[in-house]
């Protein structure tokens, strides 16, 4: 199965067990608890001598089927599925860090992640050094004896910064630091993280994986290439060798923080994974066409999209992302009033803050997802008041371009 193509694996990879009725679509096991045939079987399961499902907060057959599919698609070693992307980031990091440790992270992060690091981890004694994701030297300079993780996003939005993963992986390896990426916007279809030296990948499966924003979810994938004996927080698990990270995650952090994925959502996300490559091909093609159209418009000051020759990340993105450039793009208009007038004039494209939907969505980041940030913070992340972000969907590209053309008409003379 590992040698089959992505689409074949996405459709056929299944859980460790077949359904008893040989159903072609793995069923939705929606219940909370599972029965045991004897007290001995129950004792064996609770002591870890036997693998069986006992309670859905700990494990569930439908959730396990999603985890298995995700592991195969990432060509990883093991996956833990959780209730959201934020739950994935939280659990993965709490599993590796204790008070006194630090994270080196990109300064341009998803807002929730940035706030998690600043407002939740910092008071617990886990600090974060924010550095530009495209500055390999700054990343190296920020790592010290207490750094356990370098945390980056594969393509940061709304500024569309692409880190050089192979170069950063070399630095992380040299310093015995885990290289972890949030690959939500690239999905395993665009980015084969293990090939670029990453150790752990997290996704918000709420976005593209779910089939187009059908349900909340997240995953943590261990790519099976880190020596976990280097991580003090895993000291009680060092004897599990390559399984140490997943073992502690399953036995402690995942289980006791209670952020399990609903089996209903796992069912939808298995379905979503089967069509992921089809949707991403359409979405990336649409995004490229829209970016090129925007670049040719008078009212548009600049377009940020790694698929454009004008992007400083174009060559790097081509090498890292399977010849595709993702479904998110941003562009600058002359002023904030122009941005609002553009958004209000859209008719097919919807005003919404999500990404990875089948519908194309647009927003003004400075007044919405970054509304709580100070002017100085916005400046350091690189977000101008003139920026619009679009998450491109699977509609007909001509209709999307017509909608954008009409909405730009209103501000051409601004």
C-alpha 227/C-alpha 173 separation (Å) is 10
What residues between 166 and 185 interact with ligand PLP by CB under 6 A? Answer: 182, 184-185
Sheet with 178-182, side-by-side order of all strands: 78-82, 218-222, 200-204, 178-182, 147-153, 102-106, 127-131
Nearer to ligand PLP, 300 or 381 (CB): 381
> Which one among 110, 130, 208, 226 touches ligand PLP, defined by CB under 6 A?
110
108 near ligand PLP, judged by CB under 6 A: no
The nearer residue to ligand PLP, 152 or 303, going by C-beta atoms, is 152
DSSP one-letter string for 365-398? GGGTTTTTS-HHHHHHHT--TTEEEEE--SS-HH
> Token pair for residue 191?
């980015």
Tell me how far CA of residue 107 lies from CA of 103, 134, 199, 390, in angstroms: 12, 10, 20, 21
Q: How many residues bind ligand PLP (CB under 6 A)?
A: 16
Q: In the β-sheet with 328-332, what is the strand arrangement from edge to edge?
A: 302-304, 328-332, 387-391, 361-363, 350-351
Q: How far is the CB of 406 from ligand PLP (least distance, A)?
A: 28
Q: Which of 15, 27, 112, 382 binds ligand PLP (CB under 6 A)?
A: 112
Q: Which of 207, 279, 324, 397 binds ligand PLP (CB under 6 A)?
A: 207
Task: List all residues 6 or more positions away from 345 whose beta carbon is below 8 Å from its beta carbon.
Answer: 406, 407, 409, 410
- What is the per-residue DSSP string for 233-293? GGGGGGGGGGGHHHHHIIIIIHHHHT-BPPHHHHHHHHHHHHTHHHHHHHHHHHHHHHHHH
Q: What character string, x for contact with ligand PLP (CB under 6 A) and - otherwise, covers 74-103?
A: ----------xxx-----------------
For position 355 contacting ligand PLP by CB under 6 A, the verdict is yes
- Residue pointed to by tokens 């940020």: 304
**What is residue 318's three-state secondary structure?**
helix
Q: Is 123 exposed, middle or buried (0-12, 13-18, 19+ CB in 10 A)?
A: exposed
Residue 284 tokens read as 């990336």
Cβ 348 to ligand PLP, closest distance in Å?
22
CB of 153 to ligand PLP, least distance (A): 6
Q: Does 218 bind ligand PLP (CB under 6 A)?
A: yes
Which CB sits closer to ligand PLP, 9 or 69?
A: 69
Q: Using the minimum distance from each CB to ligand PLP, give the nearer residue, 213 or 411.
A: 213
Cβ closest to ligand PLP, residue 260 vs residue 355: 355
Our finding on whether 153 is near ligand PLP (CB under 6 A) is: yes
Question: Strand pairing partners for 273?
Answer: none
Q: Is 216 in the site for ligand PLP (CB under 6 A)?
A: yes
Report which residue's Cβ sits closest to ligand PLP. 85
Residue 329 or 407 with smaller CB distance to ligand PLP = 329
Q: Which residues pair with 304 in a beta bridge?
A: 330
Per DSSP, 33 falls in state B
Would you say 86 or 294 has its CB closer to ligand PLP? 86
Q: How far is 28 from 9, CA to CA, in rounded Å?
A: 20
Binding window for ligand PLP (CB under 6 A); candidates: 63-71, 91-99, 110-118, 317-325: 110-118
Tell me: does residue 105 bind ligand PLP (CB under 6 A). no
Q: Is the peptide bond before 14 cis (omega within 30 degrees of 0)?
A: no
Contact between 163 and ligand PLP by CB under 6 A: the answer reads no
| 357 belongs to the binding site for ligand PLP (CB under 6 A) | no
Interface pattern 252-281 for ligand PLP (x via CB under 6 A): ------------------------------
Binding positions for ligand PLP, rule: CB under 6 A: 84-86, 110, 112-113, 153, 182, 184-185, 204, 206-207, 216, 218, 355
């Amino acid at each position: 199965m590992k040698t089959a193509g992505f689409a074949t694996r996405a459709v056929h990879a299944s859980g460790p067990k077949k359904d008893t009725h040989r159903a072609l679509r793995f069923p939705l096991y929606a219940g909370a608890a599972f029965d045991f045939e004897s007290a001995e079987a129950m004792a064996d399961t609770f002591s870890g001598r036997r693998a069986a499902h006992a309670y859905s907060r700990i494990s569930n057959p439908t959730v396990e089927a999603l985890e298995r599919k995700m592991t195969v698609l990432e060509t990883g070693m093991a996956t833990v599925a959780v209730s959201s992307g934020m739950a994935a980031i939280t659990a993965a990091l709490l599993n590796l860090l204790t008070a006194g440790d630090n994270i080196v992270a990109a300064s341009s992060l998803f807002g929730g992640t940035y706030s998690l690091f600043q407002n939740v981890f910092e008071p617990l004694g886990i600090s974060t050094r924010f550095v530009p994701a495209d500055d390999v030297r700054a990343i190296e300079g920020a790592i010290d004896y207490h750094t356990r993780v370098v945390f980056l996003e594969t393509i940061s939005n709304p500024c569309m910064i692409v880190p050089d993963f192979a170069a950063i992986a070399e630095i992380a390896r040299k310093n015995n630091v885990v290289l972890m990426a949030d690959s939500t916007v690239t999905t395993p279809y665009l980015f084969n993280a293990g090939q670029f030296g990453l150790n752990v990948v997290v996704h918000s499966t709420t976005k593209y994986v779910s089939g187009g924003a059908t349900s909340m979810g997240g995953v943590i994938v261990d790519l099976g290439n880190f020596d976990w004996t280097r991580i003090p927080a895993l000291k009680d698990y060092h004897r599990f060798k390559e399984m140490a990270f997943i073992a502690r995650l399953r036995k402690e952090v995942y289980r006791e923080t209670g952020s399990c994925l609903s089996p209903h959502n796992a069912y939808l996300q298995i379905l979503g994974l089967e069509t992921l490559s089809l949707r991403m091909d359409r979405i990336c093609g649409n995004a490229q066409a829209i970016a090129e159209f925007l670049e040719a418009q008078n009212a548009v000051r600049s377009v940020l999209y790694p698929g454009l020759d004008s992007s400083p990340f174009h060559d790097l993105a081509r090498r890292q992302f399977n010849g595709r450039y993702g479904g998110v793009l941003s562009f600058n208009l002359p002023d904030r009033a122009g941005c609002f007038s553009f958004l209000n004039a859209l008719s097919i494209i919807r005003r919404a803050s999500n990404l990875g939907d089948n519908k194309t969505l647009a927003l003004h980041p400075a007044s919405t997802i970054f509304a709580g940030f100070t002017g100085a913070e916005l400046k350091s992340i690189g977000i101008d008041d003139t920026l619009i972000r679009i998450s491109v969907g699977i509609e007909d590209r001509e209709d999307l371009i017509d909608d954008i053309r009409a909405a730009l008409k209103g501000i051409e003379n601004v």
